[in-house]
Amino acid sequence: MGKKNSYLMQTVQHSEQTLKTALISKNPTLVSQYEQLDAGERRLLNKAFKPDNDLFGPITLHSESDWITSHPEPPQDFEQFFSDPSRKAPSPEKRSIYIQCIGSLGNTRIISEEYIKWLKGYCEAFFYGLTVKLLEPVPVSVTRCSFRINDNTQNLQIHAGHILRFLKRKKPRDAFCIVGITMIDLYPRDSWNFVFGQASLTDGVGIFSFARYGSDFCSSRYEGKVNKLQKVSSSDYFVFDNYYIPEVTSVLLLRSCKTLTHEIGHIFGLRHCQWLACLMQGSNHLEEADRRPLDLCPICLRKLRCAVGFNIRERYQALVKWIEDESADTPRVGTEHSQEDNVNLPKPVEAFKEWKEWIMKCLAVVQK
């Protein structure tokens, strides 16, 4: 512990000129493209390099285990993003993001169904202008993936690479990308302890787990531990039948929304942000992920706007509306459901409230 206390919090400071070039570029084509944005959008994006800006602060480093310190990688400015030959963008035929749930997300079917609808609605606001579609949830057995019990944490884990292979086979024709989400922990290869998520940009597929976002994952009382005496063979998928799922809280929903949009951001070609505090910063651990803001810095916002083509004001309005709208997208209709199915669970948005204030301030700048 002593080590951590001796680490003074550091900020990653860039000069105004550096940030301005990262946002606007010096390439005449990209400069004129920037000048064609509407005045309100430019006013907001310019906050990236204004010293009196209170909306987009610098990245702060709290320990040596933080991402930027432990994973040096070249930064990506707007021009590099724009001219990246491997970058994929949605086309008129491929404008849908598909979400595939693997296993249950909640302790009951109703919670699971509502949870995935909340995530769908959030992604539709974040990637404003694209369609988000839900695929019928599947049990782990359908994916035929390998799985194991983690030696350190004693919990079940499924193989991320095998799931990506499954998703690639299932990818619909009109999909820009297909992402799997699960409450089961992931591992990328035998030598690794775990991974929060994995994506293949070329195939437009990703898999993300929210298992470690529950409040009790690291505690000794965590109920997802498996008795080692059960020797599991690679075909005994029944071990997942009554798999422990953490309670759905507002913080779990916030973390899930952030992870999902960060990872889908990578599929659009956005690399880890090293310019300003931003959702696209890398994170090595939960504490660092929690410090990331809910939304993008101006440099990454310009990248996503370029890829998707939305109006920044309308996108902010959609995000605010999602936070304010406490029920899921649509109340359930149909007589075949039992009475208990007709409850509409209130969407737990408490943890989003402080971010709502921030988005409203951004919106005010665009509308001024």
Catalytically active residues are 263
Contact 197, 263 (CB under 8 A): yes
Three-class secondary structure assignment of 226-243: CCCCCCCCCCCHHHHCCC
Of 296, 287, 274, 260, residue with least CA distance to 124:
260
Buried/exposed code over 259-296 (b: 16+ C-beta within 10 A; e: otherwise): bbbbbbbbbbbbbbbbbbbbbbbbbbeeebbeebbbbb
Report residue 96 as tokens: 């849908």
Exposed / middle / buried, residue 353 (Cβ in 10 Å: 0-12, 13-18, 19+): exposed
Contact 139, 240 (CB under 8 A): yes
For residue 344, what are the contacts with CB-CB under 8 A and spacing of at least 6?
A: 114, 327, 328, 331, 332
Contact 105, 284 (CB under 8 A): no
Q: What is the CA angle 284-290-292, rounded to 5? A: 85
Distance CA 322, CA 264 (A): 19
Distance CA 168, CA 307 (A): 22
Strand partners for 155: 225
What does the longest C-alpha to C-alpha distance in the chain come to? 66
Helix, strand and coil percent figures for the chain, each rounded to 5: 40, 15, 45
Contact 246, 185 (CB under 8 A): no
Phi, psi dihedral angles at 103 (to 5 degrees)? 75, -175
SS3 81: helix
